[in-house]
C-alpha cells in the first residue's frame, strides 16, 4: 500500500484491516493519503467504519467519521432517487446523531423510509 496512488482492492483491504484491528497509526497514514475508498466493502458487505465500531475501536471510528461524511455527501449530492449509498448515508446520519445532515437528506424526498 505504501506505493499505491489510488484505491485498489489491496488498499481497501488494508483500510478495513487497520480499522478492525484498531491500528490508529496506520489508519491515519492511509486516510491522510486521500486515495482510499472508505465505502469499499468486504465479502460480507461491511465497511471499515462498521468493522471499527464492531471491534470497539472508538478512536478509529472517530478517524473515519470525516471521510465517511464526505463520501456520503458526494454519494447523495447528485442522487435523484434512493440508492444503496443514500440508504447507508441515512442510517449513518441517524446512528451518529447528525440531525442537520439527516434532515437535509430527508427533505430531498429521495429516501425510502
Q: Each residue of 53-84: pLDDT tens digit?
A: 999 999 999 999 999 989 988 888 888 898 88
Q: Each residue of 5-23: pLDDT tens digit?
A: 677 999 999 999 999 999 9
Concatenating the DSSP letter of every residue in 34-72 gives T---TT---TTS--HHHHHHHTT-HHHHHHHHHHHHHHH
Give φ, ψ of 89 to 5 degrees: -60, -45
Output the pLDDT for position 85: 85
Give the SS3 label for residue 92.
helix
pTM for the whole structure: 0.80
Give the SS3 label for residue 110.
coil
Amino acid at each position: 500500500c505504501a506505493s499505491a496512488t489510488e484505491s485498489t482492492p489491496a488498499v481497501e483491504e488494508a483500510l478495513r484491516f487497520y480499522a478492525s484491528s484498531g491500528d490508529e497509526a496506520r489508519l491515519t497514514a492511509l486516510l491522510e493519503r486521500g486515495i482510499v475508498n472508505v465505502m469499499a466493502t468486504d465479502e460480507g458487505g461491511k465497511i471499515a467504519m462498521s468493522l471499527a465500531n464492531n471491534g470497539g475501536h472508538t478512536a478509529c471510528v472517530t478517524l473515519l467519521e470525516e471521510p465517511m461524511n464526505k463520501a456520503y455527501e458526494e454519494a447523495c449530492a447528485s442522487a435523484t432517487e434512493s440508492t444503496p449509498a443514500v440508504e447507508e448515508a441515512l442510517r449513518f446520519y441517524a446512528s451518529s446523531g447528525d440531525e442537520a445532515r439527516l434532515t437535509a437528506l430527508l427533505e430531498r424526498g429521495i429516501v425510502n423510509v
